Structure 1
Amino acid sequence: MLPPVILVNEQDEPVGTMEKLEAHQKGLLHRAFSVFVVNKNGEMLLQQRAQDKYHSGGLWTNTCCSHPLPGEDDLAAAHRRLMEEMGFDCELREVFSFTYRAAFDNGLTEHEFDHVFFGTYDGAVLPDAAEVQATRYLSLDAIRQLLLTAPDTFTPWFHLAFPKIAAFIEEQG
């Protein structure tokens, strides 16, 4: 059985909990987070989701994403999952949030209030093979090009979050 997710309303106020798969089967709004990490050259660390993930297997996406556990702070959850999925941790800060809904061919629906975190890291990346098939650092311009030429190779939430996080990164210099 998968862990529970935090069901929320449109203002991100908790309204209950539900087992993760059931929430995705019913398409109910729940809290999530996405972590975007860049190196000192401003290149973004992307992960290719493991092929056997419950949805979006084999697609490229941001460094790490998941759901906080009931009673868990979003930032603490982001640090926990960054270590579990990618084998490292770094300083993170929340930069924005957004809500999205995406239906998948397997009948599951992501309907998430997504908190977006940003960090910088230049050390070793040791991904969990059960979660991550591959990793790579790419420049923001290379990612923009791939989103135009190979859009189906990226997750739906990456398409939505990338323009705003890229603008944030570029503003930071």
Structure 2
Amino acid sequence: MEEFVVLVNPEDKVLGLMEKQQAHINGLLHRAFSVFLFNNKGEMLLQKRASGKYHSPNQWTNAVCSHPRDGETYLDGARRRLKEELGIDAELSEKFSFIYKADVGGGLWEHELDHVFVGTYESEFHLNKDEVEEIRFISLENLDREIAAHPENFTEWFKIILEEYKHHF
């Protein structure tokens, strides 16, 4: 099934739809969301992207990052992907939004108006292995150390979003 992203201008005015991979090839601005989940110890959930992903496979990233569908709110899209990728429901609150552009290799770009949601989760996961290789919780201090030592193990957008997150908290 072809997936489409919602193309927007910097003010989030809809310009149209485009097939997801084509939008990433063209580097066009589109809607996205990112979810940061934490446990009760304040550790962040990371997911390792599945090996079959068409870009950034086997790299660590935040709990969920994806695109709302046409007519879907950012929050509803975030909840949908939590269910589809991690098999969970979690209470989320939107913290901020911003625009970034990142070269993700292979001639592909992430150029996104990204709405960032935060939540807490302490129960079982039911991973969709087509999407997620594995998950783990990590302290922000240890995460910073890992990224500094091995930036190639993390998605380009996650490194950008994490830095933006730190400016807001």
Range class of TM-score, shorter chain: over 0.9
Q: Name the counterpart of 1:107.
A: 107
CA distance in structure 1 between the aligned counterparts of 2:28 and 2:132, rounded to whole angstroms: 26
Q: Name the counterpart of 1:61.
A: 61
Q: CA RMSD in A?
A: 1.3
Q: Which runs of 4+ in 1 moved over 4 A?
A: none
Q: Name the counterpart of 1:22.
A: 22
Kept in 2: contact 1:4–1:19 (CA 8 A) = yes
Q: Name the counterpart of 2:89.
A: 89
CA distance in structure 1 between the aligned counterparts of 2:112 and 2:2, rounded to whole angstroms: 17
CA distance in structure 1 between the aligned counterparts of 2:66 and 2:8, rounded to whole angstroms: 15
Q: After superposition, give the CA deviation of every residue in 1:4-47 in whole Å (9 maximum; x if it has no partner).
A: 11000011221111111111121111000000000000010100
Kept in 2: contact 1:46–1:137 (CA 8 A) = yes
Q: Which runs of 5+ in 1 are unaligned?
A: none
Q: Which runs of 5+ in 2 are unaligned?
A: none
Aligned length: 169
Q: How do 1:1-173 and structure 2 match up within 5 A?
A: 1-166=1-166
Cα displacement (A) at 1:80: 0.5
CA distance in structure 2 between the aligned counterparts of 1:41 and 1:163, rounded to whole angstroms: 21
Distance 1:56 1:97, change over 3 A: same
- The code of the aligned residue for 2:99 comes to T
Cα displacement (A) at 1:70: 0.2
Cα displacement (A) at 1:2: 2.3
Give the TM-score taking structure 1 as reference length. 0.93
Cα displacement (A) at 1:167: 5.8
CA distance in structure 2 between the aligned counterparts of 1:115 and 1:143, rounded to whole angstroms: 22
- The code of the aligned residue for 2:38 comes to V
Q: Determine helix, strand or coil for the equivalent of 2:105.
A: coil
Q: After superposition, give the CA deviation of every residue in 1:87-139 in whole Å (9 maximum; x if it has no partner).
A: 10110011011211122332221111111000001000111000001100001
